[in-house]
Amino acid sequence: MAFGSVLITGASTGIGEGTAHHLKEVGFDVVGAVRRPEDAERLRSAGLRTVMLEVTDLESIAAAGAALGDGPLAGLVNNAGIAVAGPLEFLPLEQLRRQLEVNLIGQVAVIQRFLASLRAGRGRIVNVSSIGGRVALPLLGAYSMSKFGLEGMSDSLRRELRPQGVDVVVRCAASGNREHRTSAGHRAARGGRDHRSRAHGQAPARPLRRRQGRETARADGGGAARSGDGPAHRASVAPLACGPAGPSPP
């Protein structure tokens, strides 16, 4: 029996694709959101459902919502993201706006559209961050702005939705280009021993799972992620992610 449906944005490569395959293997009904028809066809050939979705386009998000319907969701993995590099002194403002639109505002737009389904399924929102949301490095100011913002948004949203039975979790991915991590992502998502990002020779830190200060998560009978150590514990981007995303909810 499936644990429930999970929508994953940015599912065409890397973390998103690896997570999609892993969730399917452990029994979730996975919908991979992609932007290119060729990516959708490739994922479908691997047995995954797909939907076309561009996180910066409200009409695209609405169309994806209409295609999927209003049934309950066990999870939403906000993985879509880009990295804009350059010194802030000379960074064109349109590039800064694009960075924030994709990595922050687009994530909020997707959450807003699918929150009713997540509420119905008592599901979990997993926002994929990175070390850029913890440490701001030179030439990556725009990227860090987006990831610091994502983590702040997630902390607020966690407190807003907790009384309604919806978890909000941040998973901190290892550094590196997502497309360069496709093979490593598959190994990690499928439980392989080598969880390193080969492109950068860096192993992600051990993931921490939080709910009311605890570090475990599971799936209940309806597919919603809850405390324990069942499949959703491993499925919520856990093999690909690192430590806590901020203070525990009060």
Active site residues: 143
Q: Which residues contact 107 (CB under 8 A, 6 or more apart)?
A: 55, 78, 80, 127, 150, 153
| DSSP letters spanning 19-33 | HHHHHHHTT-EEEEE
Six token digits for residue 74: 């066990």
Q: What is the dihedral of CA 33, 105, 91, 134, to 10 degrees?
A: -90
CA distance 14 to 180: 7
Query: Which residues are within 8 A (CB) of 32 and not within 5 positions of it... i.e. 6 or more apart?
Result: 8, 11, 12, 16, 17, 20, 40, 43, 48, 49, 50, 51
Tally the residues of the chain: 250
What is the SS3 assignment for 37-64? Answer: HHHHHHHHHCCCEEEECCCCCHHHHHHH
Q: How many helices (H) and strands (E) does the chain have?
A: 8, 8
Half-sphere exposure of 134 (CA within 13 A, CB side): 15
